[in-house]
Amino acid sequence: MFPTLFAIRTSWLVIFPVVIGLGIVWFLARVATDFATWFKEEVIDDMRDSRRKRKEKKAKKRMSD
């Protein structure tokens, strides 16, 4: 009986940290993907929009001249 209890206890000592580690990795992956999505939408797309607006402004200015 003692070896069985020892095996169960040992397996939980291995399984618990592995599950916790996987949870931490999953959480960090979610944070990284959320940050990447935010960065793309807020920074990169805004830069493209501002460039497009500048080009449109220049084109309007040239047409009015």
pLDDT at 30: 98
pTM of the model: 0.59
pLDDT at 47: 83
3-state SS of the chain is CHHHHHHHHHHHHHHHHHHHHHHHHHHHHHHHHHHHHHHHHHHHHHHHHHHHHHHHHHHHHHHHC
Gap between the Cα atoms of 22 and 12, Å rounded: 15
What is the mean predicted confidence (pLDDT) over 49-63?
A: 75
Give the pLDDT confidence of 6-54 residue by residue, as tens digits.
Answer: 777 788 888 899 999 999 999 999 999 999 999 998 888 888 888 777 7
